[in-house]
Structure formats: structure tokens, C-alpha cells
Amino acid sequence: MSWAKRRELLKMILIAVWLIFTVTFAIWWFNLSINHITALAELQPERLEHWERQKRMVFWEGSSWLILLIIGGAALVGLVQREKLRSKRIREFFASFTHEVKTSLASLRLQAEALQDDLGQQSSPILNRLVGDTVRLQLQLENSLFLASQDDLKLYFESVKLSGLVERMREQWPNLKIELKGDAIVHADVRALRTIMSNLVQNSHVHGKAGVISVSVAKEAGSQIRISVCDDGRGFDGSPVKLGELFHRPKNTSGSGLGLHISMMLVRKMDGDLQFDSSGKGFCTIVSITGEVA
């Protein structure tokens, strides 16, 4: 059961507990008051009319209290269901909107790449910038979609060859030199793994100003492998402990942290781990995930 469903179930349980407790307490108070008035009427038969009026007052007050409690509990259940439905509609709209925008961006990128091929050696800096911006926007949309659906995200695991992902990243970032040392078959969701690797390359390119990125593979204990993504950029002079936290900005020029946050979330959903190392030259990200060295 996903966290979103557990949260909704917890809300319903709390409402049910509150309703049962308050209704039970109201019924106890109602019976106690009626019994006390009845006992007082027996002790003072000369004031029987007075106690009958008191009994009627307590009866109507208690009945109104019970009705209001039941109505309040039903209203709370209705509000929770309404919030759930509204959240579902927002996620569906966002997913549909993101899909349409991604399709348009992909078409724009293909046309820009076709123009680049036609120009040949006379490549235009404007076209290069256009292709780079479309890649960046596609990645941001993918991150936003993962963020919006993280509570009920479903991953589909398959065998993914790392060299195929690296080759695709070389096409997306032609100005970067991406080296692959070794190869691996990763047991992961291909869309999630592609987003993780793209975020790491984008982070090195934009924030680290790297020119060369090295992707190396090593065997770990059990069925885990270690994928190290290291660059020759300017590195990171802060503490890597808070890296991966959403909207954590070590500097004024830093981004929102969305890319690393989504990468860490996706790796952990695939029973892996993500660590950062800024002790040496440049910056390294170590991805521990299920797979085997090819």
C-alpha cells in the first residue's frame, strides 16, 4: 500500500475513532442526566412537573447534540473524500498537461536536430542552445511529473543495459564528453533510471561546469552494483549531507534541488541508495542499485 493510501486510511480511522468516542460520551451523558432527573423526581414528587420539564429539556438537548455529532462526522468523511477526488483530478490534469508539453518539446527538438544535420559543419550556436534548452525542459517536466505522482508511483522493473543509456545521454549532451568504464545490466524501471542518470549529467553540466563525465561500474555485495558518475567540474565546497533535500540551496546560484531529490527518491524506490562525494576533484555521485556487471 502506497503512502498516499495509508494516509487516507489513517484519516478515516481517526475520524471513526473520534466519532465513536464523542457519540458514546454523548449517549452516556444523556442516560446519566435522564436517570438523575428520574431519581430526583422520585425523591421530590411534589415537584414532579418541574422535573418533567427538566427531563424534556435534557432529552431535546441530548438529541440535538447527538444529531450534530453525527452530521459533523459525516461532513468530515465527505471533506476527506472530496479532497481525495480533487487531488486525483489535479494529478490527472498535470500528467495529461505534461505529456502534451513533452510531445511538443520532442517534436521541436527533432526539428532543431534535423536543421543541425542539414547545416552540417556550419552548425548554428542558436540551434545548439535550442536543442540544449529542450533537453533541459523535458527533464524538468519529467522531474515534476515524478514529484506529483510520488505517493502512488508505480515502477516496472526490467533489465536495462547501462551502455544504451549512456549512448542516449551522449546524443542529448553533444558538448559533453561522457566516458563509460565497464558495462552493467541494471534491474530497474527504464524511465526512472534514465531520469536519474540525466539528472546527474545535467547537474554536472549546469552547476559543476564540467566538460568530462566518467561513468564507472563496480560490483558490490550481494546483487548490488555501484555506478559512479564523476565529473571534472568545479566540485561542491559545502556539506553533501543535505544534498537531495527539496528546495535546499547551498548558494544563491544553486537550483531548487529537484533533480537530486527526484533521483534519490527513485533510487530508494528501487531498493537502492544514492551517495555524494566531493572530497576529490570535481564531484561524484554513487548509485547503488540491483544489477550485474556485464
Residue 275 has pLDDT above 60, yes or no: yes
- pLDDT mean over 45-70: 86
DSSP, res 238: S
Tell me how far apart the alpha carbons of residues 171 and 155 are, in angstroms, rounded to a whole number: 25
| Count of CB atoms situated within 10 Å of the CB of 5 | 12
> Among positive and negative, which fits the CA dihedral 171, 173, 178, 182?
negative
pLDDT at 16: 86
Which range, of 23-32, 148-157, 245-254, 255-264, averages the lowest pLDDT? 245-254
Instruction: Report pLDDT for 248.
Output: 60
The whole-chain average pLDDT of the chain stands at 81
Q: Are strands 224-231 and 284-293 parallel, antiparallel or unpaired?
A: antiparallel
- Separation between Cα atoms, residue 115 and residue 132, nearest integer Å: 14
pLDDT at residue 250 tops 70: no
Does residue 15 contact residue 73 with C-beta atoms inside 8 Å? yes
H or E element that contains 219 = strand 212-219
For residue 115, pLDDT over 80 is answered with no
Q: Give the pLDDT band of residue 247 (cuts 50, 70, 90).
A: low
User: How far is Cα 289 from Cα 162, in angstroms, rounded to an integer?
Assistant: 12
Integer distance in angstroms from the first to the last C-alpha of the chain?
34
Share of the chain above pLDDT 90, in %: 9
Average pLDDT over residues 195-207: 87
Reduced to 3 states (helix: H, G, I; strand: E, B; else coil), residue 280 is: coil
Q: Are strands 273-277 and 224-231 parallel, antiparallel or unpaired?
A: unpaired
- More confident: 21 or 112: 21
* Res 25: pLDDT: 87
Mean pLDDT of 101-108: 73
The whole model's pTM is what?
A: 0.67
The set of cell numbers assigned to 136 is: 533541459
Which residue's entry shows cell 494529478? Answer: 91
Q: Domains of the chain (ranges plus CATH)?
A: 1-154 (no CATH), 157-293 (3.30.565.10)
Report the pLDDT value the prediction gives residue 239, as an integer from 0 to 100. 66
pLDDT of residue 187: 93
Is there a contact between 94 and 145 (Cβ–Cβ < 8 Å)?
A: yes
Q: Which segment of 21-25, 171-175, 245-249, 286-290 scores lowest on mean pLDDT?
A: 245-249
- Per-residue DSSP letter, 240: G
The 10s digit of each residue's pLDDT in 202-235 is 888 887 788 889 999 998 888 889 999 998 888 7
Specify whether the CB–CB gap between 242 and 248 falls below 8 A: yes
CA angle 287, 290, 294 (to 5 degrees): 90
The grid coordinates listed for 252 are 544563491
Average pLDDT, stretch 56-78? 86
Q: Is the pLDDT of residue 62 over 90?
A: no
| Nearest Cα to Cα of residue 15 among 60, 89, 76, 69 | 76
